[in-house]
Structure 1
Amino acid sequence: MQSNFALVSSVLFIATAGTTGAQPGDPPATEVRIVTDEVQGHSIADDYRWLEGDDAGNMTEELGEWTEAQNDYTRQVLDNIPGRDKLEARLRELLEIPLISTPSMYGDRYFYRTREGDQPQSIVKVREGIDGTERVLLDPEEIDESGLTTISWTAPNPDGSLMAFGMYYAGDENSTLYVMDVVTGEWLAEEIPGKVNFGQWLPDSSGFYYSALEDLDDAYSGIERFHKLGTHHRQDRTLFRQHDLSTFYGDLDLSDERLAELATTWGPWSMVSEDGKWILVGYWTGTSGVDLWSADLEHWFNTGELNLNTISIGREGRPGSADFDGDILYAQTTMGAPNGRVVAIDMNNSAYDNWTDIIPEDPNLVLRSAGFAQGVIAASYLESAQTRISLYEMDGAQIGELELPGIGTAGLSTSDDRTEAFLTFTSYNTPTSIYHIDLADHNAEPELWARADVPVDPDSIVVKQVWYESKDGTPISMFIVHPKDLELNGDNPTILYGYGGFNISMTPRFSSTMFPWFEAGGVYAVANLRGGGEYGAAWHDGGKNGEQTEYI
């Protein structure tokens, strides 16, 4: 998160120091019309109630005139700032940088997205083989010339010959599911409405599981279904509904108040094993807790009976990335481990107390994700607010570390049927770079697969990390970014940015629009405040509630 207003204002300050533009007159006057309300025995005066429009909140003629006058005055101020045109041209150039996503691998095909700087939506593409010719699968502008259609998600089948995808219009996010033949580009007859999210293909690709809303006007009407290709969605079989809490909690004596709370959480979700045998079912109990069950999905498929076996009820924490290997589920989780761990769950004996630690919690590192490849687990940690990736065998024996280009933020795209993977890396001075790697040979030099051309010189920028003491003596890390040839003498114009909240981590990421600031001689500092997620659950809790006076 970054304040673009602060960035532009600061750049303009440097560009206009010592200069004077045409000065506009006084701003348009705003008439005071006092309206007094009586609230619980107190008189409360509102001087500007008329600016809220009519009683229904609609724009009135006089409010429209006032708004137009304010906009005209604002434009006089902004348009007469010296250097503004030059900065605008530079920012437009920097905002038109093309984007490419990290590929996902299915069979011999590689799926990814691209977006040129002037394109309103990203395009879904595929390659046949790593060095194959790029081919467009879905272009939203070809589907809808207005540019208002968005491809929300894609889900290729195991061999990459079919691809389910979600599509919505005009930002409503109510995705409808479609399926296309990747080889021919033709769309199948499938069309499933209802804010659909994809679940899992059957091993033979004859059908798939998905979640949706039964009623688009009811955010808590979640439903999980199975669809067989070639049939109408009205024939789809239902596994469970959010409204039917007895499916999950029928054996528990919960109060009506608690049931009402559960009915309005994020609700249920599921994960299906690749062989179609098992289903892991979760139910969000709040923002930081999940109840878990397992079930024999083949039994449900054959009989219609979904017999849920309790894994964990009432615990804090949540599962993260996970992968099935036969009857064993490998999962990243914060349950019983606030900083995260990787566990193995035998689905035949899946109760929480039977979980096996594969990668135990590290009190000094925060496990952000786990990638599961063929015989390899890639654990992505935050260490001092920057990425560290450790590699392990499936039994937890450590293989080694992936060497990263420097201080930055990295991610991995893996597939459990190969050791081939894609590493994504970015930093304040490094545009997002995608490398093709082999986790079986982690010491090999990574091959650069894609990096956007940017009209800046990343080598002109230095990134370093320093520490300072907070009010209560707690060490706080901070990234400092500045031009390489700039002497830090205490007089440099500096943007100091900090965000401590919601477990969000401020890690190094490339932003092309910061470069006008650097080019003007500016320094950028980012403090890792408590309330964020850089140093685990305790760090996050340290920026909440009554602790906020100390967290900076």
Structure 2
Amino acid sequence: MPELTYPRTERGDVVDDFFGTAIADPYRWLEADARQDSKVRAWINAQNAVTNDYLENLPGRELFRRRMADLLNTERHDIPRKRAGQYFFARHDGLQNQSTLYVRDGESGQDRLLIDPNGWSEDNADALAEWSVSDDGLFLAFAVQTGGTDWRTIKVMDVETGELLEDSIEWARFSRIAWAPDGSGFFYSRYPEPEGGATSGAGVRNQAVYFHRLGNPQNEDKLIYATPDRPEMLNIADRTSAGRYLYISTTPGTNESALTVVDLEAPEWTPRTIFPKMDSEWHLLGHVGQRLYLITTDGAERRRVMTLDLSQTHPQPVEILPEAEGVLNDAALLGGKLIVAYLVDAKTEMRRFSLDGTLEGDIRLPGIGTAGGLSGHPTDDEAFFAFTSHDAPTTVYRYNIAADSVTPWAQPKLKIDPSLIEVEQHFYASKDGTRVPMFVVRRRDVTGPAPTLLYGYGGFGISMLPAYNPLQIAWVEQGGVLAIANIRGGGEYGTAWHQGGRLQNKQNAFDDFIAAGEFLKAQGITSAKGLAIQGESGGGLLVGAVTNQRPDLFDVALPGVGVLDMLRYDQFTGGALWTAEFGSPSDKAAFDNLLTYSPYHTMRDGKNYPAILVTTADADDRVVPGHSFKYISALQYADLGPKPRLIRIETRAGHGAGMPLDKIIAHHADMWAFAAYWTGLELERD
């Protein structure tokens, strides 16, 4: 490969004082929004030019692109939502950049296209986001995502005619859409209009729940619920299928939340907070009359199901389904039964119970993998869920509750022979002896050490579960190994597993990931110089942190849209919501901890670092690209050995959701080609 010359990046003299400790921030100017700052835009263009020239010379780039496109070129369906005998569902016909929305009239009716976002913009970067159908099936409210941003515009369609109504809602963000039972309008969450209408740097304060009545202008929408005394709170409203109650989860950005309900059959919609403390999770499954069914971590780190009778003056929750050995991961009231999906060592088991919590038996799943997304009417025998695994594409199944039978409803064609793929689950010991699970996926004929792509996240209680990913399969097809570590900080074993990698315990997540890499090499799964690591968002933080801590262990690092400046993350857009996960830099104890692992601040000058390809997007208003801009600048400035340190910056894209498929394919082909070159993966199929 040609010798790299990085663009010159100006270093400033900004120094911050944290509790008497001086912290230099020479690249502070790169925090500016590139869409408004010409200097940052020029820097992006210069970095992309160097990166593109380098990537164009990598063998395998086009091979990975072609194979990913072929693997993805099959029809895919999301779980349908049934309303008034009609089935509404998102469908992807193969290589479309964006999924489309269809309706089917009855079980055997023809599919009719409702929304096709392909063509909404020249680069197909505008996408269909959240959507919801009224109970009578007459109206569809849907959110438009523009260029990858988290902000939404909500519009309304007449389902029968396909015509748009004049209704238009702005400034929705982190919102669901919940129709009133009579279809007169819908509930949503929004923020105040940003000053000057500028959304790129707007923070997340004073979110409130509103009701929009069809036909009215937005300025007449009714305020339903707000927390002006706690402006940093998220207030997310939803309604269970055919439910009488609107429920509002109030949270500072953690999994724990307060729970408020609104009786929509009452003449006045008066919010009633039934669980005010934010020390446990509370999720409403549904109700029978005034008896609510709730999932909670209160007194149960792996969750349990309780009921609450709202007809009582002072209702108290009553347990009907105690905490089990597995983690309660999904549940729904369907066909007069309680259907529950549990995680057992990061794999799904599904069971059915009577409404009093009596076990009626297991629901047989198609294999070992991940099942969820339970959907249906609480009194209808027809329900749906999705199932997937590392070697099985996501298939939508119909569950007949009365017959206790599972049949495929929409099954994509598989572009690989699954018998050629082997999936194993290993358990290894972390630094402190904790037993950590990890999935390993490879071709059956790959029996010796091989270049390996190790993926992880480890935060916010989010579990890394078995799922079919054609982009990753393209790596496995070429003889590479895919490993996914279920490190602490996730939710694979409940609240304790999350807490074990959160706040002051964050180093445990890094130790777990480092131990995964050591295990892969010690067991002869990974070749001696063939370990690539990847993570996105919180996983980008993971990759950045462990690269600094163990540059000798990893050969390639791929941090994507990462949280990389842990001393200023809370200053940007939604970053303030993450202080409960990481700790606030304004707190001395938290600052001391954050400084031990912040990727931007803990580079080890003079060490021989792995090859690094950072990826981000200019319109990311979740984890702003300034994190990655500052991080790569510091990497390029430091003395870290001869391997490349590059950044790939996507335009008109955000944190990932809504990114057009052609950009997704190009993005991953570049990463895999980079990883293949620097791990020595011999590409076999051209």
Under a length normalisation based on structure 1, what TM-score does the superposition of the two structures give? Answer: 0.78
1:272 and 1:348, CA in 2 relative to 1: closer, same or farther beyond 3 A?
A: farther
Read off the aligned partner of 1:150 and give its amino acid letter. A
Q: Mapping of 1:205-224 within 5 angstroms? A: 205-217=183-195, 219-224=204-209
- Name the counterpart of 2:279: 316
Contact 2:354 2:360 in 1 (8 A): yes
Read off the aligned partner of 2:277 and give its amino acid letter. G
C-alpha displacement of 1:396: 0.8
1:396 and 1:100, CA in 2 relative to 1: closer, same or farther beyond 3 A?
A: same
Structure with larger RCO (C-alpha < 8 A, sep 6+): 2
Tell me if 1:458 matches 2:418.
yes
- Name the counterpart of 1:437: 399
Read off the aligned partner of 2:258 and give its amino acid letter. D
Aligned CA RMSD, in angstroms, stands at 3.6
- Name the counterpart of 2:312: 349
Tell me if 1:126 matches 2:85.
no
Q: Mapping of 1:139-538 within 5 angstroms? A: 139-141=116-118, 147-195=124-172, 197=175, 199-217=177-195, 219-243=204-228, 259=229, 262-267=230-235, 269=237, 271=239, 274=242, 276=244, 278-285=245-252, 287-294=254-261, 296-301=263-268, 306=270, 308-349=271-312, 351=314, 354-362=316-324, 364-411=325-372, 412-442=374-404, 444=405, 446-486=406-446, 488-489=447-448, 491-538=449-496
Contact 2:235 2:248 in 1 (8 A): no
State the SS of the aligned residue for 2:68. helix
C-alpha displacement of 1:111: 0.5
Q: How many residue pairs were aligned? A: 497
Read off the aligned partner of 2:507 and give its amino acid letter. Q
1:33 and 1:448, CA in 2 relative to 1: closer, same or farther beyond 3 A?
A: closer
Q: How many Å separate the matches in 1 of 2:28 and 2:177?
A: 50
C-alpha displacement of 1:432: 1.0
C-alpha displacement of 1:107: 1.8
Read off the aligned partner of 1:90 and give its amino acid letter. R
C-alpha displacement of 1:268: 6.2
Contact 1:311 1:350 in 2 (8 A): no
Read off the aligned partner of 2:39 and give its amino acid letter. M
- Name the counterpart of 2:579: none
Q: How many Å separate the matches in 2 of 1:220 and 1:51?
A: 24
C-alpha displacement of 1:149: 3.7
Q: How many Å separate the matches in 1 of 2:323 and 2:351?
A: 13
1:298 and 1:216, CA in 2 relative to 1: closer, same or farther beyond 3 A?
A: farther
Q: How many Å separate the matches in 2 of 1:399 and 1:52?
A: 56
Q: How many Å separate the matches in 2 of 1:144 and 1:287?
A: 35
Q: Deviations over 1:227-264 (max 9, x none)?
A: 44344444443333333xxxxxxxxxxxxxxx4xx221
Q: How many Å separate the matches in 1 of 2:9 and 2:274?
A: 63
1:216 and 1:397, CA in 2 relative to 1: closer, same or farther beyond 3 A?
A: farther
- Name the counterpart of 1:12: none
Q: How many Å separate the matches in 1 of 2:239 and 2:467?
A: 31
Q: How many Å separate the matches in 1 of 2:281 and 2:28?
A: 46
C-alpha displacement of 1:296: 4.8
Q: How many Å separate the matches in 2 of 1:286 and 1:483?
A: 40
Contact 1:33 1:49 in 2 (8 A): no
1:131 and 1:216, CA in 2 relative to 1: closer, same or farther beyond 3 A?
A: farther
Contact 2:331 2:340 in 1 (8 A): yes
Read off the aligned partner of 1:508 and give its amino acid letter. P
1:466 and 1:285, CA in 2 relative to 1: closer, same or farther beyond 3 A?
A: closer
Q: Deviations over 1:326-365 (max 9, x none)?
A: 212212222332211111121122756x112121112x21
Q: How many Å separate the matches in 2 of 1:365 and 1:42?
A: 45
C-alpha displacement of 1:269: 4.0
- Name the counterpart of 2:609: none
Contact 1:95 1:117 in 2 (8 A): yes
C-alpha displacement of 1:385: 0.6
C-alpha displacement of 1:502: 2.4
Q: How many Å separate the matches in 1 of 2:70 and 2:236?
A: 44
Read off the aligned partner of 2:223 and give its amino acid letter. T
C-alpha displacement of 1:191: 2.9
Tell me if 1:548 matches 2:507.
yes
Contact 2:259 2:282 in 1 (8 A): no
1:542 and 1:325, CA in 2 relative to 1: closer, same or farther beyond 3 A?
A: same
State the SS of the aligned residue for 1:441. coil
Of 81, 89, 93, 1:112 maps to: 89
1:326 and 1:201, CA in 2 relative to 1: closer, same or farther beyond 3 A?
A: farther
Under a length normalisation based on structure 2, what TM-score does the superposition of the two structures give? Answer: 0.64
1:350 and 1:192, CA in 2 relative to 1: closer, same or farther beyond 3 A?
A: farther
Q: How many Å separate the matches in 2 of 1:282 and 1:49?
A: 36
Q: How many Å separate the matches in 1 of 2:217 and 2:27?
A: 56
Q: How many Å separate the matches in 1 of 2:21 and 2:322?
A: 59
- Percent identity over the alignment? 34
C-alpha displacement of 1:503: 1.5
C-alpha displacement of 1:187: 2.7
Read off the aligned partner of 1:290 and give its amino acid letter. S
- Name the counterpart of 2:664: none
State the SS of the aligned residue for 2:402. helix
Contact 2:339 2:351 in 1 (8 A): yes
